[in-house]
Structure 1
Amino acid sequence: MGTHYCHLKLDERRKLAKWLEAKMSISEIADRLGRDPSTIYRDIKRNRYTDGELPELNGYHALVAQDKYEQRRAIHRKMIIHPDLKAAIEDRLKAGWSPEQIAGRMRLERHPIRVSHETIYRFAYSKDGREEQFYRHLPEHRRRRRPRGYRRHNRAHIFDIQSLSHRPERVSERLEFGHWECDLMMFRKEHGKVNVTSLVERVSRYAVVIRNEDRQSKPIMESLINGLVPLPADARKSITFDRGTEFSAWKYLKAGIGADAWFCDPQAPYQKGTVENTNNRLRRYLPRSTAPTALTNRYLRSICHRLNATPRKCLGYRTPAEVFESNLMEIQNRLE
């Protein structure tokens, strides 16, 4: 026997009740169940049924014991004994926050009653959570927890570029504000050529989404220039791309806003992991089945606002908007 205590399961309690009724000794029951005798004594003591009015019903009954066990466990589940807490967590999940972001923000704001992200997941996949279909509020909407898959990229080769290996270390280590990553989000072919550009600043994780009418590179670069030109020069120093041909007109960036362009190695989109992660978040609101022709700039801005107002673990549970605005203020103060 190991030192870790494992609670009895329902099928074990059924056997225990049957063998107790047959007057079997506790030591023999423990041997048959492969349990320590103290485990059996403990379960009988804690889950025995007693009725003062009908003493003939007193005894150990499997279903009653299981129910008492589950009720006792539920007492320690904060999301069950604090319905207001559960409602607040549910509202945040519906707003697009992950369990980890919710728990981290609670710690940052020093809530009197807090939960860990594991508590949220455990409730979602518990008996009570499944009855409410609480898992539908989780980011992946899955019945069971499983690792996320990864997108496959088939990119054409482009030439005359600056390799990511030559990007300054201060940029790679996120020590300098104003460096962005960019990608294109596509939709199903039957919806036409309309797509969106996803752009994210590496330090703050601040996201911008821009609609494109097709995949021609020059118009995409022009839309990037138009989107970034209102920012001070120190807030738009460079953009990192993958090797997609839609980014082949990268030289327009330098001429338009003075921004450098860096490119990942072939078949290595993970090297711009910040925007890849942002794309996964955006897919909650822009699945591949979306009809992109119906996307308005107002709707895309509302999605960005939601993402940028969501706390992030990597930012100490501050929001991308908070970090982005703080860095812009620092730039403004230097200029003054």
Structure 2
Amino acid sequence: MPVELEYRFWNEVRAGLGVEEAAAAVGVSRNKGHRWVGERGGVMPQLAAGRRTRSLSFAEREEIGLLSAANSGVREIARQLGRAPSTISRELRRVKHQRAPGDRHRLPYRASMAQADADERARRPRDARLATNLALRREVQARLEENHSPEQIAGRLREDFPDDPEMWVSHETIYQALYVQGRGALKRELVKHLRTGRALRKPRRAEGERRGRIPGMVNIAERPKQVEDRAVPGDWEGDLILGSTASGSAIGTLVERATGFTLLLHLRGDHTADTVAEAMIHKMTELPEQLRRTLTWDQGSEMSNHVRIADVTGLDIYFCDPHSPWQRGTNENTNGLLRQYFPKGTDLSKWGPGYLDKVAAELNNRPRKRLHWRTPAEALDKLLSNQANPPGVATTA
């Protein structure tokens, strides 16, 4: 089976198709698709040509093959791909693994064989960083005991040891060392210092639940870059917080990126696409037009009516990549705060729109460190005032 076919399969999965749908799209059996997923432990390889990662993507390897065949030098290939010459030189040396022992004939570089070699090397077990570095393990354990989160620990270690990469570790490595047996040497009881306090990681969706591709959706990669700056109000992130399974209840959450200003959607009876659309249109049309620029949501079926929402509200709606909650980080953090009012596993349908507005008002009047201890309401009011009276423009009494 050509390795290119497997990577086409993973591109379809990344775009939102299920395993069996992606297998059908590239013309292989569903059993083959499930086998590919099993061989990689469900982890998608790096594929996208436009997304820079530490590892070369398959598309970049194809480009290296074409340029190498055209007798381009290492530095020229590196310049065209925007990579370091050492990266290209190391990649071209992969051909030595494609020769028989004792054969000194240099084979041409082939992207598919180089990718297969890289994948094989990536699958090999490595010593866990926290298991082999005693000083790093002690630092991480001490900070966990002070109730620092893995992400805070990872970020702070780079600040405290800027010239010592051996004392750096990713937050995911810390989680792996806590949750996955054999992946590290952290004491298992340290999980009680995590915010969730769970002894096991819990999947975000029930077993067997699957999300399909939403027709006409626009990926977050096409969202305007100025949204990242948080300088202008009107860019929102949204999601649902779910109640107990038996109740089937939910509350919609909308958070403005620049200020953290929060709106809560009262969903009557269910959280179907029609119900979510009605609630969102009702709430968003109460806002001034300059506060309705963009909305970023995940690929949940509750947003299947996104075209209608965009037409009525004027919002440009973008969808996150699958399994990428960090692309809505402001909303994810706010949902964590809301669990103080709406605990997991409870029936959320008992809360009416008046109570939801009261909770939102409390959050919007809570001082925030990132706003220099202003409240979201104050920060939003200041941004709107600056828009109405830009510097250097005289106002009349």
Spell out the pairing of 1:232-311 with structure 2 (5 A cutoff).
232-311=288-367
**Structure-2 residue corresponding to 1:156:** 211
Query: Alignment identity in percent?
Result: 31
**Structure-2 residue corresponding to 1:202:** 257
- In 2, distance between residues paired with 1:152 and 1:325? 39
Structure 1 unaligned spans of 5+: 1-142
- In 1, distance between residues paired with 2:351 and 2:194? 31
* Segment drifting more, 268-277 vs 153-162: 153-162
- In 2, distance between residues paired with 1:305 and 1:329? 20
Aligned counterpart in structure 2 of residue 218 of structure 1, from 256, 260, 274? 274
- In 2, distance between residues paired with 1:246 and 1:169? 26
Cα deviation, residue 147, structure 1: 4.6
**Higher relative contact order structure (alpha carbons within 8 Å, sequence separation ≥ 6):** 1
**Residue 246 of structure 2: SS of its match in structure 1?**
helix
Aligned counterpart in structure 2 of residue 146 of structure 1, from 162, 184, 194? 194
The CA deviation string for residues 136-155 of structure 1, in whole angstroms up to 9 with x for no partner, is: xxxxxxx9643547874345
Normalising to structure 1: TM-score of the pair?
0.53
**Structure-2 residue corresponding to 1:60:** none
- In 1, distance between residues paired with 2:306 and 2:203? 23
- In 2, distance between residues paired with 1:153 and 1:159? 23
- In 2, distance between residues paired with 1:264 and 1:288? 24
- In 2, distance between residues paired with 1:175 and 1:324? 11
**Residue 189 of structure 1: SS of its match in structure 2?**
coil
Cα deviation, residue 332, structure 1: 4.2
The CA deviation string for residues 87-137 of structure 1, in whole angstroms up to 9 with x for no partner, is: xxxxxxxxxxxxxxxxxxxxxxxxxxxxxxxxxxxxxxxxxxxxxxxxxxx
Contact 2:250 2:267 in 1 (8 A): yes
- In 1, distance between residues paired with 2:265 and 2:322? 25
Larger radius of gyration: 1
Contact 1:206 1:324 in 2 (8 A): yes
Contact 1:194 1:211 in 2 (8 A): no
AA aligned opposite 1:173: D
Change (3 A) 1:288 1:144: closer
> Is 1:190 aligned with 2:243?
no
The CA deviation string for residues 191-216 of structure 1, in whole angstroms up to 9 with x for no partner, is: 2x331101100000001111112121
**Residue 226 of structure 1: SS of its match in structure 2?**
helix
AA aligned opposite 1:203: A
Change (3 A) 1:144 1:254: closer
- In 2, distance between residues paired with 1:309 and 1:235? 19
Structure 2 unaligned spans of 5+: 1-190
Cα deviation, residue 333, structure 1: 4.3
Spell out the pairing of 1:79-94 with structure 2 (5 A cutoff).
none
Contact 1:153 1:269 in 2 (8 A): no
- In 2, distance between residues paired with 1:194 and 1:186? 6
The CA deviation string for residues 22-70 of structure 1, in whole angstroms up to 9 with x for no partner, is: xxxxxxxxxxxxxxxxxxxxxxxxxxxxxxxxxxxxxxxxxxxxxxxxx
- In 1, distance between residues paired with 2:324 and 2:370? 23
Contact 1:182 1:200 in 2 (8 A): yes
Cα deviation, residue 290, structure 1: 2.7
Aligned counterpart in structure 2 of residue 322 of structure 1, from 372, 378, 383? 378
Cα deviation, residue 262, structure 1: 0.6
- In 2, distance between residues paired with 1:314 and 1:281? 15
- In 2, distance between residues paired with 1:327 and 1:185? 28
- In 1, distance between residues paired with 2:277 and 2:342? 22
Contact 2:296 2:319 in 1 (8 A): yes
- In 2, distance between residues paired with 1:262 and 1:256? 16
Alignment size in residue pairs: 195
- In 1, distance between residues paired with 2:325 and 2:288? 28
- In 2, distance between residues paired with 1:209 and 1:259? 17
AA aligned opposite 1:172: E
